[in-house]
Amino acid sequence: EMFPQALFPTLLCVVLVPLHAAQNCPINVYFIIDTSESVALQTVPIQSLVDQIKRFIPMFIDKLESELYQNQVYITWQFGGLHYSDVVEIYSPLTSSKDIYLPRLSAIKYLGRGTFTDCAISNMTQQIQTQMANGVNFAVVITDGHVTGSPCGGMKMQAERARDMGIKLFAVAPSEKVYEQGLREIANLPHELYRNNYAITQRDTLEIDVNTIDRIIQAMMLLIKGSPESIFIARVPLPPPLPYHHTPLQG
């Protein structure tokens, strides 16, 4: 087994499940894409790495399947996203519709300029809060880990704030050119799960790293289903019906 169960002490989707009614458990995946100069100018032609990120994400969400788990819980997926440099552009609120999401993703153009990853993480946290996203919240942060400034308190602090809100952050490098320490500040622990050499492209090429997609989704599914405390294992019977109590109409 890839990850021991002891790594998942967190209760993720808290709903009481009556025996005969399946509950919805939406899983939200929010992509945070660094389109600053350090990413966009890494490759020639400019933007080709950004274009690969824009291919990676549709392949990722194509592999997310809704399912009825143990006849009790509907796992459904929603996606949202922003991209950023020293400014933030929200390209899509959380939606379950690929028809809405994909054209918005594909319209992204690189922003260039500086890199304020702390502000981008802070903005994501706010998006998830204001959209009152119930269920399980994952953020996939795609950046090389370099920043040019930290006007929002630093990415370590903003990542901790997001974690305090229950958001689980994965860190994914666009290519092998990374500042690993930065990615480790963003990612949740354990890093075997949240920052396991994940990359958009394979080493020395611009080919999509499909293995990263599979490994992150596998990690997400383990987090959702693998926890002993997870709702997906708890079977909570309905309380017995109250005795019928007739209240005469007044008046």
Ligand X SMILES: *[C@@H]1O[C@H](CO)[C@@H](O)[C@H](O)[C@H]1NC(C)=O
Q: For residues 72 and 117, which CB has a smaller minimum distance to ligand X in the complex?
A: 117
Identify the residue among 22, 90, 222, 234 touching ligand X (CB under 6 A). 90
* Residue 88 makes contact with ligand X by CB under 6 A: yes
CA distance 138 to 124: 11
Residue 33 or 208 with smaller CB distance to ligand X: 33
Q: Give the range of 83-91, 138-146, 164-172, 232-240 binding ligand X by CB under 6 A.
A: 83-91
Smallest distance from the beta carbon of 198 to ligand X, in angstroms? Answer: 25
Interface segment toward ligand X; rule CB under 6 A; list 60-68, 119-127, 172-180, 187-195: 119-127
CB of 54 to ligand X, least distance (A): 19
Q: Which of 89, 107, 134, 10 is nearest to 50 (CA)?
A: 107
For the bound state, the minimum distance from the C-beta of residue 113 to ligand X, rounded and expressed in Å, comes to 14
Distance separating the N- and C-terminal Cα atoms of the chain? 68
Q: Is 72 or 137 the residue whose CB approaches ligand X more closely? A: 137
Looking at residues 154 to 183 of the shown chain, list those that interact with ligand X (rule: CB under 6 A): none
Over the Cα atoms of the chain, what is R_g?
A: 20
Instruction: Report in angstroms how near the CB of residue 88 gets to ligand X at its nearest.
Output: 4
Stretch that binds ligand X, among 120-128, 159-167, 199-207, 229-237 (CB under 6 A): 120-128
The CB-of-41 to ligand X minimum distance in angstroms stands at 22
Q: What angle do CA 206, 209, 212 make, to 5 degrees?
A: 150
Instruction: Using CB under 6 A, pick the residue from 47, 123, 175, 227 that binds ligand X.
Output: 123
Among the listed residues 122, 158, 188, 196, the single contact to ligand X using CB under 6 A:
122
Contact set with ligand X (CB under 6 A): 88-90, 119, 122-123, 126
